[in-house]
Structure 1
Amino acid sequence: MQEQPDGLIAELQAKNPKAFERIYERYSESTFGIINSIIHDKHLAEEILQDVFIKIWNNAEKYNSSKGRFFTWILNIARNAAIDKTRSKAYKNKQKNLTTEYFVDIIEEKTSLSSKVDAIGIKKYINVLKPYCKKIINLLYFQGFTQAEASEELDMPLGTIKTRNRNCMNKLREILTS
């Protein structure tokens, strides 16, 4: 794991374009991986990536290191932007006209987390979690499901999904910090 680039973040917050370039170089590949794992469309994922980095530039002063790591802040922006796009009417209409090849790719990806977790480098940590944690994390964080949608998909009460998600994330946090 890379250490927190506090000086670089301070420069970004001071609107230094060189700092922004360095942050883009450092984080764009992983950020693209998360977006693409939700969107499944390379060109659209690239557009969203641009939007994400514009948000990072415009909202850099809102980042607070006491609330979490900078990389986590970026990934949350990316994940939310990708999920927002999947919920948009234009995206939903586009999905109605997809080829069968696209659906085969989605089915293959749903059976394995490996390509997605490798995109952000946490495969070895995810693999030690219980199977239900893998399923919940896959649905909520890599496929963009809401907790209600995950509840339906896994045929579990919403409260159970929320509790297990919290427990799984706490376990993952514990693994990452040990």
Structure 2
Amino acid sequence: MEQDLLIEQFKAGRLAAFKELHTRYAPNICGVIHTILRNRERAEELTQDVFVKIWDYRASYDASKGRFFTWVLNIARNAAIDELRSKSHKEQQLNLHTTFFVDMAEEQEEQTFGVDMNRVKGLIRGLGKKCHQIIELLYFKGLTQKESSDYLDIPLGTVKTRVRNCISRLRKNLVD
């Protein structure tokens, strides 16, 4: 079924469309959550919670603001970070580095969850040390920009500038 029609039917409350979207996206969403939590069982549970949430909030999806998958991915990422914070994993997670996540991806080549892990690894490796730090703290460890600023002992404005610069470099690398 065409993606746009499927999403329209989903927004209209058609259960068949929801099931199809779940079939298409659940493995990828579970993979992202697992990357953040490092717990397969909890990632699977949280994936189901994310899909319940998107069903409940389906009317709030606006295609003019971004792709459907990006919308779901943001909900999943936020849920995983909330989970990390609720379990007080911050101290444990601070000991992890970007190389840990790249190595983890290499260990799970047979379970890429539909993501081109070689491309992701290449994009991460193509960034500098400062971008690695920001990506680790904000996206993998779930810290806020303020917490990252305190952890790195740099001004909050510097963290925000680095985030913008890193995102810009990633976008440029994706286009190239």
TM over 0.5: yes
TM-score category (smaller protein)? 0.7 to 0.9
Which amino acid in the other structure matches residue 129 of structure 1? L
Distance in 2, matches of 1:111 and 1:123, equals 9
Consecutive unaligned residues of structure 2, counting only runs of 5 or more, are 107-111
Bigger mean CA offset, 33-42 vs 112-121: 112-121
Which amino acid in the other structure matches residue 48 of structure 1? L
Corresponding residue for 1:99? none
How far off its partner does 1:49 sit? Answer: 0.9
Corresponding residue for 1:112? 100
Q: Secondary structure at 2:154's aligned position in 1?
A: coil
* Greater than 6 Å deviation, 4+ residue runs: none
How far off its partner does 1:106 sit? Answer: 8.5
Corresponding residue for 2:136? 138
Matches within 5 A, 1:127-166: 127-166=125-164
Distance in 2, matches of 1:106 and 1:150, equals 11
What value does the CA root-mean-square deviation take over the aligned residues? 2.6
What count of residue pairs does the alignment treat as equivalent? 163
Corresponding residue for 2:6? 8
How far off its partner does 1:110 sit? Answer: 4.8
For normalisation by structure 2, the TM-score amounts to 0.78
* CA distance 1:177–1:18, shift in 2 (3 Å): farther
Consecutive unaligned residues of structure 1, counting only runs of 5 or more, are 96-102
* CA distance 1:16–1:22, shift in 2 (3 Å): same
Distance in 2, matches of 1:15 and 1:81, equals 23
Corresponding residue for 2:34? 36
How far off its partner does 1:170 sit? Answer: 2.1
Distance in 1, matches of 2:97 and 2:34, equals 12
Q: 2:73 matched to 1:75? A: yes
Q: Cα deviations across residues 32-72 of structure 1 (Å, max 9, x unaligned)?
A: 12212222222222221111000111112211121112111
Matches within 5 A, 1:12-91: 12-88=10-86, 91=87
Between the aligned residues of both structures, percent identity stands at: 45
Q: Cα deviations across residues 54-103 of structure 1 (Å, max 9, x unaligned)?
A: 01111122111211121111111001111112222xx23xx6xxxxxxx6
Answer yes or no: is the 8 Å Cα contact 1:33–1:116 preserved in 2. no
